Amino acid sequence: MPAPLAPSSPSTATALELVGVVRQFGAGAKLVRAVRGVNLRVERGEVVALLGPNGAGKTTLIDMVLGLSDPDEGTVRVLGRTPRAAVAEGALSAVLQTGGLLADLTVRETVEVIASFHGVRARVPEVLERASLTEIARRKVSKCSGGEQQRVKFALALLPDPDVLILDEPTAGMDVTARRRFWDAMRADANAGRTIVFATHYLEEAEQFARRTVVLNHGEVVADGETATLRASLGGRTLQATLPAAADELLAVLRADTAISSLEIDAGRVTLRAHHSDAVAARLLAGGATDLEIAAPTLETAFTALTED
Ligand X SMILES: Nc1ncnc2c1ncn2[C@@H]1O[C@H](COP(=O)(O)OP(=O)(O)OP(=O)(O)O)[C@@H](O)[C@H]1O
| HSE-CB of 269 using CA atoms within 13 angstroms | 10
Please state the separation of Cα 269 from the chain's center in Å: 34
Min dist. Cβ of residue 218 to ligand X (A)? 9
Rounded to whole angstroms, how far apart are CA atoms 50 and 59?
Answer: 10
Rounded to whole angstroms, how far apart are CA atoms 91 and 162?
Answer: 4
Min dist. Cβ of residue 195 to ligand X (A)? 20
Question: Which CB sits closer to ligand X, 10 or 202?
Answer: 202
Beta carbons within 8 Å of 278's beta carbon, 6+ residues apart: none
User: Which among 190, 189, 150 is positioned nearest to 171, based on CA atoms?
Assistant: 150
The residues binding ligand X (CB under 6 A) are 25-26, 32, 34, 52, 54-60
Min dist. Cβ of residue 24 to ligand X (A)? 9
Say which amino acid occupies 270.
Answer: V
Question: Which CB sits closer to ligand X, 54 or 177?
Answer: 54
Min dist. Cβ of residue 50 to ligand X (A)? 8
Min dist. Cβ of residue 111 to ligand X (A)? 27
Instruction: Check if the beta carbon of residue 50 is closer than 8 Å to that of residue 61.
Output: yes
Question: Which CB sits closer to ligand X, 25 or 117?
Answer: 25
Question: Which CB sits closer to ligand X, 39 or 290?
Answer: 39
Strands 16-25, 32-42: pairing is: antiparallel
Min dist. Cβ of residue 172 to ligand X (A)? 9
**Sign of the four-CA dihedral 62, 63, 67, 70:** negative
Instruction: Check if the beta carbon of residue 98 is closer than 8 Å to that of residue 169.
Output: no
CA angle 140, 198, 150 (to 5 degrees): 5
Instruction: Check if the beta carbon of residue 213 is closer than 8 Å to that of residue 299.
Output: yes
Beta carbons within 8 Å of 157's beta carbon, 6+ residues apart: 93, 94, 95, 165, 167
Question: Which CB sits closer to ligand X, 48 or 284?
Answer: 48
Rounded to whole angstroms, how far apart are CA atoms 285 and 280?
Answer: 9
Min dist. Cβ of residue 242 to ligand X (A)? 39
CA angle 246, 251, 253 (to 5 degrees): 120
Min dist. Cβ of residue 5 to ligand X (A)? 33
Question: Which CB sits closer to ligand X, 200 or 277?
Answer: 200
Question: Which CB sits closer to ligand X, 60 or 93?
Answer: 60
Question: Which CB sits closer to ligand X, 11 or 54?
Answer: 54
Strands 212-217, 47-51: pairing is: parallel
